[in-house]
Each structure stands twice: as C-alpha cells, then as structure tokens.
Amino acid sequence: IRKGAGLDIENAVVVFDEAHNLLEAVNGSHSSSLKGEDAAAAANAIQAYVGQYAPRLSARNTMYLKKLQKVCSLFSSYISSLKQSTACTVGALFVRAGVEQFDFADLHDWLRDADVLRKIRGFAEAQAAKAARDGG
C-alpha cells in the first residue's frame, strides 16, 4: 500500500482513524477483478495497434505484443464462459484460462521497459475519438 501511494513512513508514527476498516483496505489492495469485456477490449486494441504499426515495430516488440494479445484473448474467453462471478487464486486463474505457459515476469519486464501500455492506450483512445467523430 505504501509503495502504491508513494508513502515513506520510515521513522514515523502512523495513526489509523477508522481502524476497523483497515483489514478490508489491506485485503482490497491485494486483490483485483477483471471483466471479460475489458480483456477483449485490450486484445482488440493490441491487435489494432500491431496492425497499424507493424512495419515500424521491431521483431521483439511484435513477438511480445502478440503474446500479450493472446493472454488477453484467453482471459476474455475464460471469463466470458463463466456463468457467475468467481474468486480464485492467481495460479488457478492462470490454469483455468490457459495462460500458465506464459512467462509473466518476462512479459512484465518488457511492458515496463517498452512503455507500450501507454502507447496502446493512447492509440485506442485516438481510435475511439475518431470513430465518435465519424459517427461510429
């Protein structure tokens, strides 16, 4: 929580007001949710980005983008197949979605170093704005 909020509390006294909510806040900081439509939108945005910039992408970046797009597609397919919301461990989710074979540490390092998420998001937002201007 400290790292995410950018807090440095070394040699400090921390007072919690509303401490009865502390456990819920800590638990919430270590969990997340993913909707099938969000994973599908990410997969589609990556596919469109690669389609637009393929000639300018290095072979390495193309490879990682295709891996990322596949991961998003697999998550989307799995989540869309669920009849109701479900909770599970990360490991169980990876196996159920069929993404356990991907090296997520390597993918994470590439994402951080390539700054590609910012680029894809900007591209997707520009495409959505263009579609809105053009009437859909």
In this predicted structure, what is the pLDDT of residue 93?
A: 93
pTM listed for this prediction: 0.76
Among residues 121, 132, 112, 38, the alpha carbon closest in space to that of 76 is found at 38
Q: What is the pLDDT of residue 11?
A: 79
φ and ψ of 84, to 5 deg? -155, 165
Lookup: tokens for 86: 């479900």
Q: For 43-96, write each residue's pLDDT tens digit.
A: 999 999 999 999 999 999 999 999 999 999 999 999 999 999 888 888 999 999
